[in-house]
Structure 1
Amino acid sequence: MKNIIENLKEYALETIEAEAEAVSQLPGIVDDGFGEAVALMARCKGRIVVSGVGKSAVIAQKMVATLNSTGTCALFMHSADAVHGDLGMIGPGDIVLFISKSGNTEEVKRLLPFVKKMGNPVVSIVSNRDSFLGTHSDRLIYVPMEREACPNNLAPTTSTTLHLVVCDAIAMALSRFKNFTAEDFGRFHPGGSLGKRLYMRVEDVFDKTNQPRVSEDETIKNVLITISSHRLGATVVLGPDGDLRGIITNGDVRRMVENGKDINTLQAKDIMSRSPKTVDKSALAVDALRMMEANNITSVVVLDGGKYAGLIHIHDIMREGIQ
């Protein structure tokens, strides 16, 4: 069994090393031709229509997903389906990007003349410069490759990895050219934790109707009742005009008891923390979370125009998947 495990580890490492070595050579393909191809896509007034067959189609789908999420409109068109009606998805101003290892796939060779007839520019990513695609595209991104990581040199492995990395390079170049920002990314990812970190604000998370509060001369017994009933682990202390005077947490009460103080003789002002951490309701929720982590606390006072609006608890933020 041990020999089997060692052999499997060796096979896996050989694959990783082979693909890593191939990727390390990729900077050499970023020449003027590469730049011209990406510049053509940067000037595109329509969409980038990405097409391929087999494993290249899978890479094409990933490319489309990356482009759409980083500021470049794109769609996927399977090369085999295109000649059976899907050509209709190509519109004026669109650029067609083909991905193919050989550049001689029958489906692509059948499709390319129709695309050219429609007048749409064609960019191709291929690993065979002298192929049909390589010689009939308006712009070519040549990705040389010696052999697949597959021991039989058959299964697309190194080639798909190289094409994936090149697609990422193109997408990121376009994104930076368009000055795509973190805020833009958040708008396109409202349902995921990444997007929430970028756009979700404190006012979107905390319960505006749950506002634990006591006065400075409140008894400790009533302080405990307030903390318990609101289930936020704390209550704020307000002055006569509603101004923020402090905060009392479960920890403050516990330490008071541990120190042997008599709860019957103390008031809220005797145990409150006089410099509570605050955050405006318009602040990003992730910033409130970072404040809690940095100060080893579980809740922060929320302000609205300098006035007390409530408490945001660490669990409120983490329930949204923000970490």
Structure 2
Amino acid sequence: MKLIKNIQSIAKNVILQEAIALQNLVERIDDEFEKCVYAILNSGGRVVVSGIGKSAIVGQKIVATLNSTGTPALFMHAADAIHGDLGMIQDTDVVMVLSKSGDTPEIKVLVPLLKRTGVPIIAMVSNRDSYLAQHSQFILHSYAPVEADSHNLAPTTSTTVSMALGDALAICLLEARGFTRQDFARYHPGGALGKRLYLKVCDIYPNNTLPIVDENASLKQVIMEITSKRLGVTAVNNSEGKMAGIITDGDLRRMLNQHSGEELLHLRACDIMTASPICVDPEDFAVTALEIMQSKSITHVVVVEENIVKGFVHLHDLLREGLV
């Protein structure tokens, strides 16, 4: 195996070249870019993205980003378009074609067929004088003078620029549509990301037991309630059924260290409890409960609504949901 002495310098040079290309891309965000954004917004349809080779792979990523940020999109491979896939294009759609050169044979076959559909065509292309650019209504200039490899062959810098331009387009559309965190959660219901955005306390606490004792409960009753409900905590209610406080297993340990055997017989829940516990509302997001636990170094919070104890959320619940 050939030993390469300058691996680190090669890697750094690749990243620097791509960074320079991205910096130059900033200067190409102009009125033409705005026209592309408005063309999509005003179409009322979807963005049909097409390309071939590495451009097709970049196009699929752009489609995924558009869909997840509120802009309906789908991918149509340039080679498959002439074999029936053109039928996916609707009158209200906008087609965006990705190609570095804009002059590949597949693109030259595809573009006239797209023009027959009558839908607007956006060219994401490096060469503004190419066939694709000349036959498109809008241009996203993804200029990349050189690739990052020493032979200027492997699609590297050009695909990075196209990816960034696609991200910029998607985020502009997101802002224009007033896309919110709640919208994002609706499109990302799976995994930890989605749960952070939509999972609420009321989705969790009903699955747990509800330990509660009266404020005049004996020490034995408190211990039995905490032990039987297996949460390491119990709520304490007053005579009106409202929350008076909570008792944790840590409270019990501290109390046992502070009192003698005879004194223990006369202790009641109200003598042991923490009277102002940290609470959350059932409609709070679960991630809010997690942030409270982390900031206060505690393992559970009591769920209270109008001073009525509804339940508890334990750190283990949030671990199980993948929020930690």
The TM tier, using the shorter chain, reads: over 0.9
Amino acid at match of 1:212: P
Distance 2:92 2:41 in 1: 12
**1:256 and 2:258 matched:** no
1:87-144 deviations in Å (ceiling 9; x for gaps): 1111110000011111112112111111110101100110011111111101011122
Give how far 1:209 is off.
5.7
Q: Any idea what the Cα deviations from partners look like across 1:65-84, whole Å, max 9, x if unmatched?
A: 00001010000000001110
Kept in 2, the 8 Å contact 1:227–1:234? The answer is: yes
1:311 equivalent in alignment to 2:296:
no
The residue that corresponds to 1:300 in the other structure is 301
Any gaps of 5 or more consecutive residues in structure 2? Answer: none
Cα deviation for residue 312 of structure 1 reads 1.0
SS across alignment from 1:240:
coil
Asked whether the 8 Å contact 2:143–2:161 carries over to 1, the reply is no
Please report the TM-score for the alignment, with normalisation by the length of structure 1. 0.95
Distance in 2, Cα, partners of 1:261 & 1:226: 22
Deviation at 1:160, TM superposition (A): 0.2
The aligned residue for residue 274 of structure 1 is 275
What is the 5 A alignment of 1:177-216? Answer: 177-207=176-206, 210-216=209-215
Equivalent residue, structure 2, for 1:158: 157
Secondary structure of the 2:112 match is: helix
**Number of the residue aligned with 1:222:** 221
SS of match in other structure, 2:70: coil
Supply the distance in 2 between the matched residues of 1:92 and 1:314 (Cα, whole angstroms).
Answer: 52
Q: 1:239, 1:73 → 2: CA distance? A: 55
For 1:181-206, what per-residue CA distance to the aligned partner results, in whole angstroms no more than 9, with x for missing partners? 11100111111222211111111112
**1:100 aligned residue:** 99
Q: 2:51 corresponds to which residue?
A: 52
Shift of 1:318: 2.4
Q: Following the alignment from structure 1 to structure 2, what is the Cα–Cα distance between the partners of residues 64 and 146?
A: 25
Partner of 1:10: 9
TM-superposed CA distance for 1:219, in Å, is 2.0
Letter in 2 for 1:306: N
**Letter in structure 2 aligned against 1:8:** I
Residue correspondences, number:
322
Distance in 1, Cα, partners of 2:145 & 2:208: 65
The alignment's TM-score, normalised by the length of structure 2, stands at 0.95
Moved more, 241-250 or 310-319: 310-319
Letter matched to residue 296 of structure 2: N
Query: Within 2, Cα distance between the matches of 1:255 and 1:307?
Result: 27
Structure 1 residue aligned with 2:132: 133
Q: Match for 1:271: what amino acid?
A: I
Gaps of 5+ in 1: none
For residues 307 and 118 of structure 2, the distance between their equivalents in structure 1, rounded to whole angstroms, comes to: 60
SS at match of 1:301: strand
The answer for the alignment partner of 1:86 in structure 2 is 85
Cα shift at 1:208: 5.0
Q: Please, what is the CA RMSD of the aligned residues?
A: 1.7
Residue 281 of structure 2 aligns with an amino acid whose one-letter code is D
Match for 1:117: what amino acid? R
- 1:291 aligned to 2:305? no
CA drift of 1:260 comes to: 4.8
Shift of 1:259: 3.3
Identity %: 47
CA distance in 2, matches of 1:108, 1:48: 18
Which stretch of the first structure deviates more once superposed, 116-125 or 194-203? 194-203
Measure how far apart 1:222 and its partner are. 2.3
Point out 4+ residue stretches in structure 1 off by more than 4 angstroms.
3-6
The secondary structure found in structure 2 opposite 1:258 is: helix
2: CA distance between counterparts of 1:238 and 1:251?
Answer: 19
More displaced, 220-229 or 8-17?
220-229
In the alignment, structure 1 residue 147 sits paired with structure 2 residue 118: no
- SS of residue paired to 1:310: strand
Greater shift after overlay, 282-291 or 217-226? 217-226
Say whether the 8 Å CA contact 2:96–2:123 is kept in structure 1. Answer: yes
User: Is the deviation greater in 268-277 or in 303-312?
Assistant: 303-312
Question: Residue 304 and residue 208 in structure 1: after superposition, are their counterparts in 2 closer, same or farther (change >3 A)?
Answer: farther
The code of the aligned residue for 2:300 comes to: S
Out of 106-115 and 61-70, give the one that drifted further.
106-115
Task: Determine the C-alpha separation between the residues in 2 that align with 1:40 and 1:206.
Answer: 47
**Aligned AA for 2:157?**
T
Asked whether the 8 Å contact 2:66–2:170 carries over to 1, the reply is: yes
The 10-residue stretch of structure 1 (162-171 or 196-205) with the greater mean CA deviation from structure 2: 196-205
Aligned AA (1:297): I
CA–CA separation in structure 1 for the residues paired with 2:76 and 2:209: 51
User: Is the contact between residue 45 and residue 94 of structure 1 (CA under 8 Å) also seen in structure 2?
Assistant: yes
* Matched AA of 1:257: L
